[in-house]
Every structure is written in structure tokens, then in C-alpha cells.
Amino acid sequence: MTLRLGDIAPNFQQESSVGHIDFYSFLDGHWGVLFSHPADFTPVCTTELGFTAKLSEEFNKRGVKAIALSVDDVESHKNWIQDINETQNTTVNFPIIADKDRKVSELYGFIHPNASETLTVRSLIIIDPNKKVRLIITYPASTGRNFNEILRVIDSLQLTDHHKVATPANWQQGEDVVIVPSLKDEDEIKQRFPKGYKAIKPYLRLTPQPE
């Protein structure tokens, strides 16, 4: 299956490091970050899972639930988590799906045959509370993910869902944003953006980030 932006993320049931998971029940109306790993006891994945655990408070502030996936079994996951906690000085506090039968990997397109016939690639999907796919990023197995970028994208998505703005290149929380070109009524603009805006071009209007 090939997922695209705007698709509804499919539900699944699978065993995990914390027991049986029904994905929709796990999300429970929250934002979700689902990310896959080539295998347990791999060095890059160990650092990624440790860093994700350290971001627990940041995810909670944004109403986001993290859930990982690897093609190894539950017992392997539990042993690996002990290594992650020890080496990364943290506590893994989110599930790792045990996708030994590749059911979820195939459902979400995490197996890329030209990269590996059996191992999942390093993919990450952001899902909104309506279960829509909002971001898909796939890294090569040798490159660890930038989870600060994941938080930045979540901030952008949550902001732009509630205001008629977009976020420019390299935008960070608190910086100016772009008024969407489709918004042209000056009275509505004044109402929505009382701090005013700067028109660099008619289609490029910057305004302070709405609260």
C-alpha cells in the first residue's frame, strides 16, 4: 500500500512492547507519530528511540503520541529497551510494535524492496486527530532522523490548522508567518491579524505568529 498526504491512516492490531495495540484506540483522538526501524539492537535506532523518550514532555505539550515499529518480536524489543535506557540515559515510555509478520510494515509501505526485501526503511508518518496523514519522511537506514524537525513540523501543522497562515523556510516557533495568498479581504485580514503585516510582494505578506 502507498500512503499519500491526506489519506486516512489505516487501523491495525498488533503486539507491542506494552501489549496488544489497536492503533486507533491508542491514538484516542491525539496526533500521532509512527516511525519504523530496520531492526532491533542497531546503533542509529538506539539513539533515535532514546531521543524520542527524552522528548516525552515536548510531545505531551502538543498532544502527540509516539509509537515505533521494528520487525523483531516482543521479547527482542523488551531486551533492546533495556539497552536503550542504559546507553541513552532515559526511559522508553512509548510502545514499539513487534511487526515480525510485516503486517503493519506492508500496510504502511515501510518495506522498500530495492533497499531491502525484509527490513523496514527509516520512515516516519505524522497523523492528525482526524487520522489523516499529514507528513511522510523516509530516510536511508544509515541516517538518523532529526526529531527537532519533527517537532517543528508538528508546531507548523497545528498552527496552520487554526489560522490562515503558512510557515516560511526554516521557521521556528514564535517567528513571523506568511498570510495565505487566498486571503484577500482587508477587513478580515485586520480582524485575523491585529498586529498588522508587511507586504514584501502582493503574494508574500509576513505577520507575527498568531497566538
The DSSP line for 119-188 is SB-EEEEEE-TT-BEEEEEEE-TTS---HHHHHHHHHHHHHHHHSSEE--TT--TTS-EEE-TT---HHH
Catalytic residue among 45, 66, 111, 119: 45
What is the CB-side half-sphere exposure of residue 142 using CA atoms within 13 A?
Answer: 1
The set of cell numbers assigned to 110 is 515501510
- Report DSSP state, residue 204: E
Is 49 a known active-site residue? no
C-beta separation of 108 from 72 below 8 A: no
Phi, psi of 136 (to 5 degrees): -135, 120
Torsion of CA 96, 14, 78, 95, to 10 degrees: 30
Q: Could you give the residue numbers annotated as active site?
A: 45
